[in-house]
Amino acid sequence: MNGRRGDCASPLPTLLGRAIGMFALDYDRARGRDRSVPQLGTWANLLRVLDADGTDQRELVRRTVISRRVAKVVVTRLERLGRVAVDKQAVEGTRGKTNLVRLTASGEAGTAAAAARVDTVQADWRERFGNDAVDRLRDALSTVVDRLPVELPHHPAGYGAADPSVTGGDYVPENPGPPRIPAHGQDWPVVLREPGSDTRHLPLPALLSQVLAAFAIDYEREQFGSLPAASNFLRFVGDDGVTLGSAQALGGVVGNGKSLHERHLDVAVEPGRPRDMSRRVFLTPKGRRVRDAYPQLVKEIEDRWNEQYATAMPPMRSTLMSMNERFDADLRDYPSTTGWILRPWLG
């Protein structure tokens, strides 16, 4: 069972991930031929928080809860595109300087266009799925998000341009709290959620993203790699392997030893000519452990969530399942956490 069709066996992260993917696809469709619009992730995880007079890049990281390394990459790319300007500003009381990030005129126009398209897609979803269904989903998602101990990104974000994990590992060990602070890399900002926060006003994709990120954090704390890697690729590779062409499409395996799953020793690629896409790709013992653990681990997390978020989980799952039946069939089970980083502006 691959969980792609919205049946009762579909894992919760698959339902969440496909909903985000469908919203992003509808967002892209809504722009039509307008190439002056940013990626949904770029707007959600960076542009929407910039102040009119500019924002300190360190504060930008905290507002969006993306890693410092991701912020650096995206800001640099947007500056090259002329969508933001970066000015050096002296830090009061020190000899150091910080980056002040502000929108250019084209950046302002693109940011406004992105916000309008998000509103358009949300209205379209109400027409397509019904107000009751959208309201049930929003209420369920916000119930979970309001109880999360830390803020999370408003669009799926990797720890780095080549690291799909949410928090970047366990360089800083988990603090069980309360509040529980997940293990994280040194570049991931810890932003505690304000007591009594109310997230019902947030756009639907922001709610979906935070719930999916919370699930991914619970998955990744069990030391079975990143949830995106297992969701989109490893769990679909049988003991007889897959062709390099399939592995490339599903998991970005190149066959030169340098791609993510090769470097992490998840897979082994059959020797042969570099361009031979019929070569077999097999899971290593490590890869098989991740694949075999996935179904039970995801079920255990969802069972815990059923207890922790008892009133929210049934309507969330049932509504997502109903919507998923009408989503495009070829959506990825976990949306890309790095695509918007590598290509922040549509065009």
Tokens encoding 7? 């049946």
pLDDT confidence bin for 345, thresholds 50/70/90: very high
pLDDT confidence bin for 4, thresholds 50/70/90: very low
Tell me what pLDDT residue 6 has: 40
pLDDT confidence bin for 95, thresholds 50/70/90: low
Which pLDDT tens digit goes with each residue over 250-303? 999 999 999 989 999 999 999 999 889 999 999 999 999 999 999 999 999 999
Query: For residue 5, is pLDDT > 50?
Result: no
Residue 281: which of 222, 234, 219 has the closest Cα?
A: 234
Q: Report the 10 Å Cβ neighbour count for 253.
A: 23
Residue 160 is which amino acid? G
User: Per-residue pLDDT averaged across 155-163, rounded?
Assistant: 92
Convert the chain into a string of H (helix), E (strand) and C (coil).
Answer: CCCCCCCCCCCHHHHHHHHHHHHHHHHHHHCCCCCCCECHHHHHHCHHHCCCCCEEHHHHHHHHCCCHHHHHHHHHHHHHCCCEEEEEEECCCCCCEEEEEEECHHHHHHHHHHHHHHHHHHHHHHHHHCHHHHHHHHHHHHHHHHCCCECCCCCCCCCECCECCCCCCCCECCECCCCCECCECCCCCCCECCCCCCCCCCCHHHHHHHHHHHHHHHHHCCCCCCHHHHHHCHHHCCCCCEEHHHHHHHHCCCCCCCCHHHHCCCEEECCCCCCCCCCEEEECHHHHHHHHHHHHHHHHHHHHHHHHCCCCHHHHHHHHHHHHCCCCCCCCCCCCCCHHHHCCECC
Q: Report the 10 Å Cβ neighbour count for 150.
A: 21
Residue 162: which of 284, 238, 254, 244 has the closest Cα?
A: 254
Tell me what pLDDT residue 7 has: 47
Among 133-142, 218-227, 338-347, the range of highest mean pLDDT: 133-142
How much is the pTM? 0.93
Query: For residue 23, is pLDDT > 50?
Result: yes
The dihedral over CA atoms of 29, 5, 42, 33, expressed in degrees to the nearest 10, equals: -10
pLDDT confidence bin for 1, thresholds 50/70/90: very low
Among 6-20, 26-40, 51-65, the range of highest mean pLDDT: 51-65
pLDDT confidence bin for 91, thresholds 50/70/90: low
Which pLDDT tens digit goes with each residue over 168-209? 999 999 999 899 999 999 999 999 998 888 898 999 999 999
Spell out the residues 6+ positions from residue 293 whose beta carbon is closer than 8 angstroms to its own: 222, 224
User: Per-residue pLDDT averaged across 153-170, rounded?
Assistant: 92
Query: For residue 137, is pLDDT > 50?
Result: yes
